[in-house]
A and B are shown apart, each in its own frame.
Chain A
């Protein structure tokens, strides 16, 4: 079993819908990352968080350390949000040097 599990693996939505992607992890972490990969292939860091909630535009990321769970929300979704969203964790401990362990990714398609 992967140390980082995402759901759903595929998500289709209509423009304007509220979207939630979930991430659960089974290891001690120093931080959780949400990444976005567009069809062109580049990977962009959306959020890095170790507690609470962060918001950037229409994107909101939350984390519950006790439950080892994080969610990424997109409000008022738009076709340009179509991408692969990847949850990743930095494992706690001085020898990890920030290496990321990744979930399988969620393929989001937003139709107009």
Chain B
């Protein structure tokens, strides 16, 4: 009965490879997010989709491309992986029916290690 799920949980890959992380939520939420947590545990927004539309795109290299095939899914594709991409990536979702109230539900995270 996982509310927000991510796959894979761990991802180890070589520099230069292309990889994808998948996220699914079964909460019926209209908004999904990708956050990056660095080695110091600091979290930062990367992208957000509302009803399949990209609405937030922070300063992220264009090697990162999110895709939302439907409201329940938000995937993250990363091209030409670099050492600095090593981090934990969290997907989250919320219902932003009112812009002023939105509890967010987080996925378990994907730990990406680039060698």
Contact = CB atoms under 8 A, between A and B. Distances in A.
A42 B109 contact: yes
Contacts of A50: 100-101
Nearest to A93: B99
A96 interface: yes
A20 B76 CA distance: 37
B96 A97 contact: yes
Contacts, number: 75
A102 B104 contact: no
Contacts of B50: 97
Contacts of A31: 100-102
Interface stretch (B13-21, B38-46, B64-72, B78-86): B38-46
Contact of B99 (A33, A45, A97): A97
Categorize the interface residue count of chain B.
Answer: 20 to 34
B52 interface: no
Consensus secondary structure, chain B interface:
strand
Given A41-B108, A97-B55, A98-B31, A84 B102 contact: no
A54 B33 CA distance: 26
Contact of B56 (A33, A37, A99): A99
B94 interface: yes
Interface in A54-104: 84, 86, 88, 90, 92-102, 104
Contacts of B33: 99-100
Nearest to A94: B99
B71 to A, nearest CB: 14
A102 B42 contact: yes
A65 B19 CA distance: 43
A98 B106 contact: no
A97 B90 contact: no
B43 A102 contact: yes
Interface of A: 30-31, 33, 35, 37, 41-45, 48, 50, 84, 86, 88, 90, 92-102, 104-105, 107
Given A33-B104, A95-B55, A97-B48, 6 more contacts: A41-B109, A42-B106, A43-B92, A45-B105, A45-B106, A48-B101
